[in-house]
Amino acid sequence: MVRLTPRHCAGDVVGPVFWLRWSWRGLRQRFVQVIAIAAIIALGSGIYAGLGSTSVWRTQSLNVSFSSLHAHDLEVQPVAGLALPTRTLLTAVRSAGGASLSAVEARLVTDLPVRAGPDGTIPAAGVIVGVDLAKGVHIDRWKVTGGGTIGSADATGTQVLLDEHFAAQHHLPPKGELWIADVRVRYVGTMLSPEYLNTTSTLGGVIQGAATRAVIVAPLSLAQRLASQPGQVNDVVALVRHGVSVEHVATQLSQQLGRSTLPIATTVSVRRDSLLTQSLYGEVVSEQKVFSVFALLILLGAGFAAFNLTRRFVEAQRRDLGIAMSLGVPRSRIAVRPLALALEVAVAGVVLGVAAGWGIGQWVVAILKVKVPLPVWQSPWQAGLFVRAAVLGLAIPLAGSLYPVWRAVRTTPTDALIPPHLRTRRHRLLGLQRKTWMPGNTMTQAPLRRATIAPARSLMTILAIALVLAPLLAAFGATDSTTSTIQSGDQILSGGRGDRLLVSLESYQSAGSSVVTAVVGSKLVGASALGLSIGGYLIRGHTTVDVSIDMVDLGNPLAVPTSLATQRVQPGGIVISAKAASDLHVAQGGRITLRHPVAHGTGYRFADSVLPVRAVVASPYSFVAYMSLKDEPLMGLSGIVNTATVVPRHDVTMDRLQRSVSAIPGVAAALAASSLTSTMRDVLGGISNLFIILQVVIGLMALLVAYNSSKIGSDERVRENATMMAFGTTVRRVVLIEILESVLLGLVGIGLGIATGLLVLKWILATVFPAAIPELAVLESVRTTSYLITALIGVVATALAPLLGARRLRAMNLPDTLRYVE
Amino acid sequence: MIGLDSVSKRYVTPGGVVVALDNATLEIPSAVFVVVLGPSGSGKTTLLNMIGALDTPTEGVIDVAGQRVTEMSRSQLFAFRRQTVTFIFQAFNLFPELTALENVCFGAEIAGREDARAVAVQMLADVDLGHREHHFPHELSGGEQQRVAIARSLATGNPVLLADEPTGELDYRTGVQILGLLRARADAGQTVVLVTHNREIARMADLVVELADGRIISAGPTPDGPADPSTLRW
């Protein structure tokens, strides 16, 4: 027997094609809404993929920068910055390294005061890297970022290259003039060298960054002339032959040089083990930690919003499901349509998410290229991350649809058929609403009543807004807290002392040396304090903290913070920062081990001394530490200094004193303390700039969440709105009611978002930051403007969303809407 | 009171032009109970919607209570709906988040009545729902919901009451009760225009307007005068 099945009848109804076609029609009807929900998923997964790629890009770019510019493997330096004749040092290294070394080059790296800008108005601590241009530079090359370069023809000339970081900080042109130790030279280009990518260092207990440190590549002869060290070098860099262990060669070099006839001791360091290299890579990892936390938080917010919206979206189809059930369609078949809709949202989300991820990634790279310049930047497609984001994007809406579908197919057809506005509502708020007096008339009460009639729905909307805004406030708070901590730290260190000139000497000098006498004895100096700045480690238990110890007169308010100078701290101990005290779990009066250098022959060795903690200064920097000059014998450096803090005489300007001191031979840098406090960018890295992306994405997401909530809410209330308009309520008034309802929920959402954001911030400051910036005790601080901007984004998004539906309200077919009989 | 002069309503659809109302001319005096009768698709609801300014005619002129509805601006139409006409819907269309009393208050407030609450209390009492003031719509039966809807319309105090199949969702007993209430409003001086396809209901009207295929095929008083609602059977 042949059975004929009508083409568009029962045979199709039981087949999936029919349901997919029906679902497709639903998608077309709700296209804007589907795209809006998909856009939320896209932004969440996009920021996850975009921000998640930064560490891979930066690490890869750093690796390529180092390798393509032939960064040295090993570096040999005579101790204490002392110099040796070029041939002597080169021969010793070549001889010690033997065939293991493929290339060896000698340099003179010297610290000299630099002035740049028009008429030399920008003072800086110069790092002059003298290279042998005549023989060609094959190790530690540079990438020219502007202007020209220098080559063998410039070997005996006075043309130099200036570091891009410093030039960019002061908006200097790619070519110009600058003064090194009062000698005018011409820089013909700006450059980036992997060796000097890390711009952060300390000077006089204050963080110094790109703005105050000028790295200059100069012909070796010029550097030797400027440093008054003709024919001398103090640095040898080497490349290890391919396939040979760098560490093994370093050990071999160290041993051989120790046995050589060199008149002074040398240190051999492996570049990739150096603190600078490690901190460069460490910064990438630590910043990625912060970004990952925020990306996950945003993804969580987006996920929740998409989940909630998909749930409501599917919930709106519940009546259709009831009709299908009453017609006897199997449950499994009924579920196809809403699940297909969720799948369509998911697929749209993934497609848009890939585009958003790519776009956000490009934006991230563009910011990083400016804020974290590298010789070579590479940003390859991170397929793994995008796949992870895509899986999340698919899973969220599907998860959002499962519960309402499960609920709908399990209910009885009669329950499912009840139209939403006639469904029985049972919740405590109804009773409360009945009894509670509210001001105004039914129109003015409408927003609040609408918001409370379906508390579960309102709560979900509030939570969605809160979860979107929470990471924004946390992001603002993280920036505010770091900035404010650094500012307060600088204020604590300089508090009560006024501005002063921090002078660094080229090398260790006896307190009575000519250079020291010239500095402190200058007619322009009103007061001075000498000091010895030396590195060391504080050790307690298993915790070690790197410190930069300023050995000074602890009673001199010029040398130490006023709060410390007044404490009459006795010698024979150490003063540490509050951050270090916290990390080491030690308080004033406790004892701590200081690992410090001790002069030994022509070099030095490290020794451990157990010292009492004489005082704790309220500094957030762990590396800040002070000792008395009287304790210098502990280091074997009695009467030795390498820093001076001076203030101008009352009738002398700081600029005049700075220029005068900079011109003294033997002075490496002379910078006003106030000029060193503008270097937070280097401490924060690119974080604060990348937070702009978070703000834009979160703002968009808040708008989309509010729009969708408002749109779904408006659809659910279409009959009420039509009735109001039938009774003469103007469209403007209806929109106003919707705006007020939306803002009402928005305000609660904002409040909850801010509270959640503060909790997230506390968690980040307690767990993520200590790992990312271990040397800084970041204290929680959120500016009023941050609160206001977060609230403003929430209010604008929630208030704006109903406005987007005003046109639809105006075009509403009142008779059709009102006649619709359930 | 209500005048229609050569009013037509045409819709352009993909299948061609659909004439919902064709050249309707009608005069309805004040304080009467009018039943607009006709089968589905005859144009009776279209007629009601245009009187109530929910819809606009393609051509023709409509005057209600001395106001030319067809020449009003958008804002004037809203004001007209607030001050002149009021609706009762087949599906009640109560606000689910408002109690019965508040739904009625809404009618009084939107019409600008200063004694809104007192009026609402009175109107609810008039429809025998004084004891259900603080109940939400979903806590009321269908008949009670429709009585609240009537009370809401009455609370506006507007002179023209437009009812679209107000008993369509109700059982006979409740329907008769509702019709009695509407009849009483006409007797009290309001103009009540009720749309239905039920010929039995037309018996209680002062005036019956019959439509078919968008045209008014008859209009005039009920031959035996208005019947008492309690005598209706359907």
Asked if B138 contacts B168 with a C-beta cutoff of 8 angstroms, the reply is no
pLDDT for A18: 66
Of A422, A449, A814, the CB nearest to B54: A814
pLDDT at residue number B61: 96
Together in a domain, B34 and B66 = yes
- Residue pair A162/A214 in contact by the 8 Å Cβ criterion: yes
Which residues of A fall within a CB distance of 8 Å from B111? 728
Q: Which residues of A touch B96 (CB under 8 A)?
A: 421-422, 425, 453, 720
Chain B residue at shortest CA distance from A716? B96
Name residues of chain A where pLDDT drops below 50. 1-13, 680-681, 821-822
Structure tokens that stand for B222 in this block: 């009920």
CA nearest neighbour of A89 among A240, A235, A269, A219: A235
Nearest in space to A559 (alpha carbons), one of A550, A568, A549: A550
Question: Distance of alpha carbon B210 from its chain centroid, rounded?
Answer: 16
A694 DSSP β-pair partners: none
Q: How many CB pairs below 8 A link A and B? A: 99
Examine the domain organization and report whether B152 and B171 are in the same domain: no
**Number of CB atoms found within 10 A of residue A307's CB:** 23
| Coil vs helix vs strand at A574 | strand
- State how far the Cα of B150 lies from the Cα of B158, in Å rounded to an integer: 12
Among chain A residues, the shortest Cα distance to B107 is held by A727
**Residue A326 neighbours by CB distance under 10 Å:** 13
Of A770, A531, A741, nearest in space to A643 by CA: A531
H or E element, residue B35: strand B33-37
Tokens of A573: 């101990």
Domain boundaries along the sequence of chain A? 18-71+281-419, 83-263, 436-490+687-822, 491-679
CA B187 – CA B181 distance, rounded (Å): 10
**A383, A595, A616, A799, B37 from A631: Cα distances, Å:** 58, 14, 18, 66, 111
Domain range spanning residue B132? Answer: 92-157
| pLDDT of res. A200 | 64
The reported pLDDT for the residue numbered A327 is: 67
Amino acid residing at A471: P
Measured at the CA of B226, the angle between CA B90 and CA B25, to 5 degrees, comes to: 70
Mutate to test the interface with A, among B44, B64, B93 (most CBs of A within 10 A): B93
Is residue B88 a contact partner of residue B163, using CB atoms and an 8 Å limit? yes
A74 vs A78, A85, A165, CA distance in Å? Answer: 14, 20, 25
Chain A residue numbers with beta carbons less than 8 Å from the beta carbon of B97 are: 433, 446, 449-450, 452-453
Element (H, E) at A532: strand A525-540
Same domain as B58, residue B21: yes
B138 interaction partners in chain A (CB closer than 8 Å): 422-425
Sign of CA dihedral A720, A722, A724, A727: negative
User: What's the CA gap between B127 and B143, in Å, rounded?
Assistant: 11
Q: Kindly state whether residues B111 and B26 are assigned to the same domain.
A: no
Closest-CA distance, B223 to chain A, in angstroms, reads: 31
Instruction: Give, in order, the Cα–Cα distances in Å from A253 to each of A81, A238, A273, A468.
Output: 19, 11, 16, 57
Three-state SS string over A133-190 comes to: CCCCCCCCCCEEEEECCCCHHHCCCCEEEEEHHHHHHCCCCCCEEEEECCEEEEEEEE
Cα–Cα distance for residue pair A420/A733, rounded to 1 Å: 24
Q: How far does A724 lie from chain B, in Å, by closest CA? A: 9
Considering the domain architecture, whether residues B225 and B129 belong to the same structural domain is answered as: no
Sign, Cα dihedral of B145, B147, B148, B153: positive
**What are residue A573's DSSP bridge partners?**
none
Provide, as residue numbers in chain A, all residues whose Cβ is less than 8 Å from the Cβ of B55: 814-815
Backbone angles phi, psi at A500, to 5 degrees: -150, 160
Closest by CA position to A125, among listed A210, A7, A22, A36: A210
Inter-chain touch A453–B97, beta carbons under 8 Å: yes
**3-state class of A769 per DSSP?**
helix
Please name the residue of chain B whose CA is at the shortest distance from the CA of residue A454: B97
Interchain contact, B89 vs A723, CB within 8 Å: yes
Q: CA A225, A231, A232: angle at the middle one, nearest 5?
A: 90
Best mutation target, B64, B92, B95, to test chain A (most A CBs within 10 A):
B95
Segment A320-339, tens digit of pLDDT: 777 666 666 677 777 877 78
Q: What pLDDT shows up at residue A3?
A: 43
Residue B85 near residue B50, CB atoms below 8 Å: no
DSSP per residue, A320-344: HHHHHHHTT--HHHHTHHHHHHHHH
Residues B136 and B168 in one domain: no
Same domain? B4 vs B28:
yes
The 3-state DSSP class for residue A237 equals strand
Distances in whole angstroms, Cα of residue A600 to Cα of each of A265, A603, A646, A815, B181: 10, 5, 31, 99, 112
- Rounded Cα distance, A194 and A375, in Å: 7
CA distance A809 to A807: 5
Tell me whether residue A87 is exposed, middle or buried, using C-beta atoms within 10 angstroms of its C-beta: 0 to 12, 13 to 18, 19 or more. exposed
Q: What is the pLDDT of residue B155?
A: 92
Identify the pLDDT of residue A412.
Answer: 66
Residues B37, B79: one domain?
yes
- Sequence letter at residue A746: G
Number of domains in chain B: 2
Strands A101-116 and B85-88: unpaired
CB contact under 8 A, B106 and A719: no
* Yes or no, beta carbons of B96 and A443 under 8 Å apart: no
Residues B8 and B72 in one domain: yes
User: Do the Cβ atoms of A719 and B93 come within 8 Å?
Assistant: yes
Q: Are residues B6 and B45 in the same domain?
A: yes
CA distance A321 to A463: 28
DSSP string covering A718-733: HHHHHHHHHTT--HHH
Option in A425, A443, A821 nearest B91 (CB): A821
The CA-based angle B131-B135-B141, given to 5 degrees, is 85
Question: What residues contact A538, with CB distance under 8 A and at least 6 apart?
Answer: A544, A545, A547, A574, A576, A580, A584, A592, A593, A594, A595, A625
Q: Which amino acid is present at B224?
A: D
Q: How confident is the model at residue B30 (pLDDT cuts 50, 70, 90)?
A: very high
SS3 of residue A360 by DSSP: helix
Cβ distance B95 to A720 less than 8 Å, yes or no, reads yes
Question: B41-81: per-residue pLDDT in tens?
Answer: 899 989 999 999 888 999 999 999 999 999 999 888 888 98
The CATH number assigned to the domain holding B19 equals: 3.40.50.300
- Out of B125, B157, B189, a domain closes at B157
Contact B97 A449 (CB under 8 A): yes
Which residues of B have a CB under 8 Å from any CB of A?
45-46, 49, 52, 54-55, 75, 78-83, 86-87, 89-91, 93-99, 102-103, 105-107, 109-111, 116, 134, 136-138, 156, 164, 168-169
Find, among B131, B117, B82, the residue nearest to A445 by Cα: B117
Distance CA A213, CA A194 (A): 15
Whole-number Å distance between alpha carbons of A598 and A600? 6
Domain match, B14 and B59 both = yes
Q: Which residues contact A497 (CB under 8 A, 6 or more apart)?
A: A557, A558, A561, A562, A673
Q: What are phi and psi of A237, to 5 degrees?
A: -110, 150
Q: Are strands A624-628 and A543-552 parallel, antiparallel or unpaired?
A: parallel
- Cβ A720–B93 below 8 Å, yes or no? yes
Query: What is the spatial distance between Cα A570 and Cα A562, in angstroms, rounded to a whole number?
Result: 16
Task: Please report the pLDDT score of residue A2 as a whole number.
Answer: 39
**Angstrom distance (rounded) from CA A814 to CA A549:** 80
Neighbours of B32 (CB within 10 A): 19
Given B45, B80, B109, which is nearest A442 (Cβ)?
A: B109
pLDDT over 60 (residue B32) = yes
Buried b (16+ CB within 10 A) or exposed e, A693-721: bbeebbbbbbbbbbbbbbbbbbbbbbbbb
Shared domain for B168 and B75, answered yes or no, is: yes
